[in-house]
Amino acid sequence: MKIHSQAIHAGDRKKPDRAIPSTTPVVTATTYLYDKVEELDRIFGHEINGFSYARYDTPTTAALEELCTTLEAGAESVACASGMAALHLALMTALADRRKTILAAESLYGATINLLMDVFEPMGVAVHFVDVCDMEAVEKAVAEHRPGCVLIETVSNPLLRVGPIDRIAEVSRAAGAALIVDSTFATPLLVRPMELGAHMVVHSLTKYLAGHGDVLGGLVVSDAGHLETLHKLSRVLGPQLGAYEAYLAMRGIKTFALRMERHCANACRVAAWLASHPKVERVYYLADPQHPDAETVRRMFPEGLYGGMVSFEIRRAGREEIFRFIDALKMVVRGTSLGDVHSLILYPVISSHREISPKQRERMGIRDNLVRLSVGIEAADDIIADLEQALSRV
């Protein structure tokens, strides 16, 4: 074999030996081959498991998907390049053989609303919204619109409302609708929607699961009934997560439960402190006994684990005062994400819900003095001290 050929072939395609890596390695190959084409034929025909092409699956992403499927008690998962890609894939899967109507929670992440209104509705999908915390309204809307899909968040972004997933699942299933739950804020440590009757669960891997601000990724966890369609669409559309991102996400997930416990503990302390501050008008946090969905929270969430998100309104503050407060923060990071080990603060009006009209934001309860805080795993005293000195500038 000449050097030009050696340069291409030497060292590759070694047979597996007895050594087993203790962590899943990064496998970046796009194409896989076998000693006999018959074996590849059976893999293409889904008769046996195996890898053929990276748009279908890779060893690294498959390991991540197996991990996340286990955590969410699902049938299988598909890892995607972003949370929005995962949500798009889940919605398309749900509507593939159902009525092209979506009934969505009226309080959702801004980009999710844009996906519904700017992508699905122009494609002929009817989109309706409902207060998912009002079961009477949900039952009425399902009966009226006969949706093919119901879309909710475990904890709404950014006002932290909690709908009764199990009851919504009953109504959805009775109507033949698929229930999709975006559970990014909760993670499977707090709530596992599939155990409550959801058909599919979506996560932004970028957030609590990976948890270190260095991975962009998403995930769809599905029940058995939607797997064939989910995999078919995934293979055609190609939203798959890259191997290196899958490796980083899997590494992050190894500590997510420990991190999430600390996020929750810190958020409880921070929320209680904010509630007592004279410059804070209102605090939104799940542990608040006056939370409008307190009964649902108590029923669905483990005691003491209420998430790491805290939203609050600064008294008599407008855009200028909010900017001054955020700019004064020294440790809390001014960033548009959440769920990282470091605390992050966001102004929904200019970021997560920027594309939503002021009137719609008002209907959703998102006021101009609202900020959203993703409480990190730093020392709680340091987070509080930073917030205190910044509030003194308002």
pLDDT per residue as tens digits for the range 192-242: 999 999 999 999 999 999 999 999 999 999 999 999 999 999 999 999 999
How many Å apart are CA 221 and CA 186, to the nearest integer? 15
For 30-34, 98-102, 224-228, which range has the lowest pLDDT when averaged over its residues? Answer: 30-34
Fold of 257-391: Aspartate Aminotransferase, domain 1 (3.90.1150)
298 — pLDDT class (breaks 50, 70, 90): very high
pLDDT per residue as tens digits for the range 310-343: 999 999 999 999 999 999 999 999 998 999 999 9
Tell me whether residue 367 is one of the annotated catalytic residues. Answer: no
Q: Which residue has the higher pLDDT, 365 or 290?
A: 290
Q: Any idea what the Cα angle at residue 378 is, between residues 373 and 380, rounded to 5°? A: 75
Catalytic residue from among 192, 207, 259, 372 = 207
Same fold, 37-253 and 257-391: no
Tell me whether residue 109 is one of the annotated catalytic residues. Answer: yes
pLDDT per residue as tens digits for the range 110-147: 899 999 999 999 999 999 999 999 999 999 999 999 99
Token duo for residue 381: 């005293």
| Nearest by Cα to 170 from 150, 192, 184 | 150
The pLDDT, as a whole number, for residue 163 is 98
Tell me whether residue 18 is one of the annotated catalytic residues. Answer: no
How confident is the model over 331-358, as a mean pLDDT? 89
Mean pLDDT of the chain: 95
CA atoms within 13 A on the CB side of 190: 29
CATH number of 37-253: 3.40.640.10
Q: Please, what is the angle between helix 227-237 and helix 83-95, to 10°?
A: 130
Catalytic residue from among 56, 109, 208, 347 = 109
Using a pLDDT cut of 90, give the percent of the chain over it: 87
The domain spans of the chain are 37-253, 257-391
* pTM for the full predicted model: 0.95
Tell me whether residue 285 is one of the annotated catalytic residues. Answer: no
